[in-house]
Structure 1
Amino acid sequence: MPLEVVEYTDPACPWAWGSEPKFRLLRAELPEARWRRVFGILFDDGEDPAPDPAAEAAWYAKFIDGVSEHTGAPKPPHLAWVAKSSWPASLAAKAAETQGEAIAELVLTRLRETTFVHGTPADDTERVLAAVEGVPGLDVPALRAAMASAEIRQAVRDDWRETRNPCPEVLDITAPGPHSGRAKHLEHHVRYALPTLTFSGPGGRFVVPGWRPLREYFAAARAATG
């Protein structure tokens, strides 16, 4: 049985943004692994809008600043707004996978940059498509069509549900911060902390949630490989 890596993530998650270099190296060092990305929808549709969007953006910008102190990742000089929804970017990232892994990686990075470099989150279809314009090899009309397709929407809905059915290992983590990876207990459900990686293979399943050193990911991969 080959090694399978499942990555629970979101284009708008600052911890996932900070983990990109580690995960990129991990993928390069595990070329035979089957890697599956699950989009957890950090900002869901139907949530009540903030009564003061400017104050919300200022608060979230400080949160991003704090995360960046730990990860060393770039942060925007000014956050214009907090993403209203993770759905458009997640649909685009999932749709981009139909055009190949290399293109999908570039698309996801571009979408993350809208928040964490430019400070203008791609939280609707037109902002998403503007963000990915010029990605080498990307067929933008095909991406738009795939984003609107029943197949891609169902795939992201399945991701939403999978992220809200976390494995027992993450429910009661007591490891210290800054981001232990303990499952998030929200109003109506529990979901994986983002990002979380699971490694499954002949040696069993091993979970590395939250913000962890690179060595823990490689150790989990080795253990799962058996």
Structure 2
Amino acid sequence: MMADLHECVSELERWATGRAVVLTGSGNTFCSGGELQTVQKILHKGGDMCKLMQFTTSRLYSLPLISVAAVNGHALGGGAELTTACDFRVMTTKAKIGFVQARMNVSTGWGGGTRLIGLLGRTNALLLLSSGQVLNADQAKALGFVNEVFDTEDIASEARKWINKTLVGDFTVTRNIKQMVLEGANMEDLAYTRERELFTKLWGSELHLKALNANMKHK
């Protein structure tokens, strides 16, 4: 799935006339993060996995398109990080978002921690990352993390309608505005590098293994 996402982003980068893209999950789950058995198999590959996903999510974040994360269910751990790689976030009333990495005795590694600071500020980012709190739709909206909440089973359709109604002007105007905002934000590569270093220290550690074996992510 990580490789598929990488290829999707590459395809979007080649879409010269694109204006917006919606990222959503299948069924009633947006992305619940690392599956237990898969994580056990790649414990020795944490740095490589982190490097790939930072590269992929930073490219998604930097697309000339406007991106919307349509959260249709649980977005946990890496799933929560994926939502930060989009320009906007919308949720269903039943969806939940949680940076639960601390429950697993690791930290964010896909650039989500760095992006979260830009989205919510230092204090709120620190609170969410260190507490492992799982936010419902109302809490995420009140915090300013989510732009809209929809009572629907088809959040992707609502996201498309919402972004089409929100954006004005030709697609070339939208792409120019996105580029201007990206350059203004001037996210530093150093922050990504440091986040990767901190993640790699914890991934596969004794503490991480203990939390994995106890399935602490969902407790």
TM over 0.5: no
TM-score bracket, normalised by the shorter chain, equals: under 0.3
Would you tell me which structure has more helix in proportion to its own residues?
2
What's the TM-score, normalizing by structure 2? 0.27
What's the TM-score, normalizing by structure 1? 0.26
